Chain A
Amino acid sequence: MNISSKMPDTNSAVQSVATDRTKAAKPPFLGFGLGLRAQHYDDILNSNPPVDWFEVISENYMLPGGQPLRMLDRICERYPVVMHGVSLSIASTAPPNFEYLSGLKELAKHVQPKWISDHLCWTGVHGKNLHDLLPIPYTQESLDHVVSRVQLVQDFLGREIVLENVSTYVQFANCEMTEWEFLSELSRRSGCWLLFDVNNVYVSAFNHGYDPYTFLNGIPTDRVVQFHMAGHTHMETHIIDTHDHPVCDDVWKLYEAALRRFGAVSTIIERDDNIPPLDELLVEVKQMRDIAIKTLPQIPQLLHTR
């Protein structure tokens, strides 16, 4: 079914009533959190670990019912939660999937997340979904397209979204700007906030041969509301963003520099595969917190006044 056919001329309808979201208030600083994974439900509910907040994968809870939603409700009773999706496909040239967006909006109504994030990427065209975070060429044409898509999604959801830089393995020959220029301009024009994945910056910089600190310093200081910290797999000539290892030293160093540039930013440890016991990840959350406090002494006060 062509979902777009169910909607009345959406593009023009949305544009005619588009809200100016470029001056919206910045989401709050939540502290230091963890990506919620099903393996840890029991430990979290039994021990109330010292985690300031949880990021949940939206699609894992866009389900009819049962244990996942039940667990999510119990986590939401105890911790601030942010929804992080993998299938928004904001940069796809396929028609917007309003069925997906409706499901996302419904879940957000239920969860009341502090914000909703996804990735600057596409996941498929022609009705197919490759379930991967695919790269885009950084051109004026693609920028115009993504800006209009972000505006459409934000108006549909009634809130600003947060977009994350993805790890990429290829660069397009027709690029007209850098990734950081693209992200900056996208955020400035659409009002979306940025999720700065420190590991992904490191991975993409290595894969494409640029300095990750150039990327870091190219992102505006007032648009970043979240950091991701994760591990990866080194293949000698390139790095694959597997999210199945602890955070490496170089990424911790880049994190310190990101703290100095962006200030206190809500951060999580994101582990997607080879998931260790909760205690092991709590050590990384503590390390993340300790580095932040050492770099920005005002953080304990900010955490206290959250």
Chain B
Amino acid sequence: MAIAHVSPSTTAHVKPERTGRKIPYLLLLPGLLWLMVFFILPLVNLAETSTKTRAASQETGEFVQTWRFANYIDAFIEYQPQFTRSFLYAFLATFLALAISYPLAYAIAFRAGKYKNILLVLVIAPFFTSFLLRTIAWKQILGAEGPVVYLLRTLHIIGPDTTITATSFAVVMGMTYNFLPFMTLPIYASLDRIDPRLMEASSDLYANGFTTFRKVTVPLSMPGVVAGTLLTFIPAAGDYVNAAILGNPTTKMIGNVIDSRFFRIVDYPTAAALSFTLMAVILILVTVYIRRSGTDELV
């Protein structure tokens, strides 16, 4: 399925011949123009907003450009815990999603036989129910009146006041859950492309199952792992829905702060500075990660 193709190794067969030299540009123009106007320009505008300060009139939503770069430092110092938490949760959720997805993708690719396609559909299927409904469902399943807490309390595993929701555990669990298919599909796509003869060759050369897995399967599935971890980590770091539904005030992430700075406090410069810092950190991490994993072409 669709997302299964989001893998770094899809290199295009470039066909240089073709007559008109203008054709590729005509094909590119409308789409790229759209991205320039509604993606790049807003980012430029956001950068410009991030160094503004409140207007002298003190009116809500009125700001003047003062090139105050200290906005970034102020914002970072004030919300450093939320930043740390966002990246910590995103790392944990990505790690857990990888731990769940790799064996799952492996089982679908190599152990499912004729049920492969059905299982693949089942991985995507939860997507078709709104993710908000599913997250709210988790809140109620794990909630104080839900079956899990009831069972654990009856068995005296947790005390009468312990809850599962409104904890950082619930937030990380929810993030892991919500981004799981983004991890599974690219890994599956990579595993599925592996020529089974390579594994046969490995066992012909007296490698045991584990050695074959470690030396053949894992390296060949790396493009999928890289794509999957990126598709999980990036949205997880900027997420605020899981923290809002499954967390409590002490599990707030940077997304929650940006949201409230924007809508409740109407402090656009701080929201802009925080957005840029978040994006910059993510881009740096992503670049380092892609460099280290040795896959260049991502799209």
Q: Do A and B bind each other?
A: no
Which residues from chain B sit less than 8 Å from chain A, CB to CB?
none
Which residues from chain A sit less than 8 Å from chain B, CB to CB?
none
